[in-house]
């Protein structure tokens, strides 16, 4: 039976890659790096001891642009909690007890005094809520 097919014949062979193959792969991968819009970690300026990259002095308070207001900066962590009813987390006291009992070890602080705010939002899945914890930085 003969089939008139103009497509290529494909064969697969398994074996070690030679130097020519590896060089071709390396050459083909180089143009991809040219379109990179961010710097690799090795290309960034580092202040680390023993680093070969030039360091820049940290900004001093007088070098920073004035904002005209006192800033409050928080790190907000988001958790999805299944099996929770919004009513059980209705008050601030209940939310703080919940975070202290279940989430404190996951926070950047180990002290509830650094937790400024806790938001609880019902999710589309039944008995599931989103808990957002605001930690003072």
Give the confidence band of 76 by pLDDT, cuts at 50, 70, 90: very high
State both tokens at 33: 């790096």
> CB-based burial of residue 119 (10 Å sphere; 0-12 exposed, 13-18 middle, 19+ buried)?
middle
* Coil, helix or strand at residue 122: strand
Give the confidence band of 134 by pLDDT, cuts at 50, 70, 90: very high
State both tokens at 83: 């099996």
- Is the model more confident about 128 or about 63? 128
pLDDT at 61: 62
CA 99, 101, 104, 110 dihedral sign is positive
At 32-75, the pLDDT tens digits run 545 545 555 554 555 555 555 555 556 666 666 666 678 889 99
* pTM of model > 0.75: no
Longest dimension (CA), the chain: 85
pLDDT at 62: 62
At 101-110, the pLDDT tens digits run 999 999 999 8
State both tokens at 75: 């790190």
Instruction: Please give the domain boundaries of the chain with CATH numbers for all domains.
Output: 74-136 (3.30.70)
pLDDT at 71: 87
Q: How far apart are CA 112 and CA 115, in angstroms?
A: 5
Residue 136 has pLDDT above 90, yes or no: yes
State both tokens at 2: 């003969």
């Amino acid at each position: 039976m003969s089939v008139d097919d103009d497509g290529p014949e494909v064969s697969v062979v398994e074996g070690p890659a030679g130097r020519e193959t590896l060089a071709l792969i390396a050459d083909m991968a180089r143009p991809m790096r040219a379109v990179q819009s961010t710097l690799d970690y090795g290309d960034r300026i580092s202040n680390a001891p023993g680093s070969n990259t030039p360091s820049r002095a940290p900004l001093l308070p007088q070098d920073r642009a004035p904002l005209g207001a006192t800033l409050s900066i928080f790190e907000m962590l988001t958790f999805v909690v299944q099996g929770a009813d919004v009513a059980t987390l209705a008050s601030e006291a209940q939310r703080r007890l919940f975070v202290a009992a279940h989430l404190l070890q996951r926070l950047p602080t180990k002290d509830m005094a650094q937790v400024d705010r806790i938001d609880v939002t019902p999710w589309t899945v039944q008995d599931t809520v989103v808990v957002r914890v605001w930690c003072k930085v």
